[in-house]
Structure 1
Amino acid sequence: MSDVKLENQLSPAFPKIRIITETITNFVGFIVLGVLFWLNDYFSWPTWAFWILVALLVLGLFGAIWSMIEPKLLYRNWSYQFNDEFLQLRYGVFTKEWVTVPMTKIQSVSTSQGPIMKRYHARAIKVETMGSSHTIPALEEHVALELREKLAIYAKLKEVDE
């Protein structure tokens, strides 16, 4: 396919949401790594254990730096569009992925919202087919709810009372 962007993008808050989530994850990881360094010192583990911890620290630092860059790149490279026949997704930083999901194959459409996404009025949409699932990571709340309804109508899904 051509390298043309599809008509819809993620929520502009996506990079902030992703950076906050990754920062929390990195913080917890570094705390665990700090505890492991303390245990290494307290119990006098072998020298090879120290070097493994140093390697994990270096990898963690590179990961933390990448987690600050990646969300902006993902935001620029994520787009989607839909009509009554197909849902098309385009994403990827280093390898570009084009996914076309026929509406007739969609079995369920759901939205999710964690506390950070709630703060920024965003939701993720998950579209499931028989063999796979596809997620649009962050849309503005009203857009996500509208998209969920339209996809359900196009896919002719029946809503189940809970």
Structure 2
Amino acid sequence: MEPRNRISNKALKVWRVSGIIRAAICWIITIAVLVVTILFDWSYWAIGAAGIISIVVTYISVFLFPSMKWKRWRYEVREKEIEIQSGLFIIKRTLVPMIRVQHVETNQGPLLRKYQLASVEISTAATTHEIPALELSEADELRFYISKMASVEEDDV
């Protein structure tokens, strides 16, 4: 059974804006190829190839990947563990035992801040796991709950 909780649907907006930024960089390169091709009288196949690549990158990074990513991202925090599910083509499910949690923090970049979202990072001795794009209040509550449960687990051992 997969985890119950989804990340905020505002994550779609954030990931699409990020995709637009990536696509804009690709289009700038395409325009540069166009200018160089015209200035140096190069073959026009380079413009066509750059244009096709830019169209594909735009579609994938703005429309396809954000919606696929959002549909697959799920998480659930239980008393003894945290379950995280993510992935685009390959679904990855991770169980993080509460006893292994060393610290929990929330992060907010400029795009997340604009949409009042935050990511929760859960650190163990070996790795860091992230639950991205939660509503700010939900992220703070989750950070507090996980840190409380992790300290309770340590006291029990």
**Class of the TM-score when normalised by the shorter of the 2 chains:** 0.7 to 0.9
Letter paired with 1:113: Q
Matched, 1:60 2:42: no
Q: From 8, 21, 27, give the equivalent of 1:11.
A: 8
**1:10-35 Cα distance to aligned partner (Å, 9 max, x none):** 00211111111211221123113322
Larger CA deviation: 138-147 vs 78-87 = 78-87
Work out the number of aligned pairs and report it: 151
Q: SS of 1:11's equivalent?
A: coil
- 2:13 and 2:37 map into 1 onto residues whose CA distance is 36
**What TM-score, normalized by structure 1, do the two folds share?**
0.79
- Structure 2 unaligned segments of length 5 or more: list them: 153-157
Q: From 37, 40, 45, give the equivalent of 2:34.
A: 37
User: Paired residue for 1:131?
Assistant: 126
- 1:36 and 1:127 map into 2 onto residues whose CA distance is 43
User: Paired residue for 2:155?
Assistant: none
**1:80-101 Cα distance to aligned partner (Å, 9 max, x none):** 1112211101122321111001
- Structure 1 unaligned segments of length 5 or more: list them: 158-162
- Which structure has more helix as a fraction of its residues? 2
- 1:60 and 1:105 map into 2 onto residues whose CA distance is 44
User: Paired residue for 1:150?
Assistant: 145
Taking only the aligned residue pairs, the percentage that are identical comes to 25
Cα RMSD (Å) = 2.3
Q: How does 1:63-78 map to 2 (within 5 A)?
A: 63-67=57-61, 68-78=63-73
Larger CA deviation: 106-115 vs 9-18 = 106-115
**What TM-score, normalized by structure 2, do the two folds share?**
0.82
CA contact (8 A) 2:77 2:83 kept: yes
Letter paired with 2:128: S
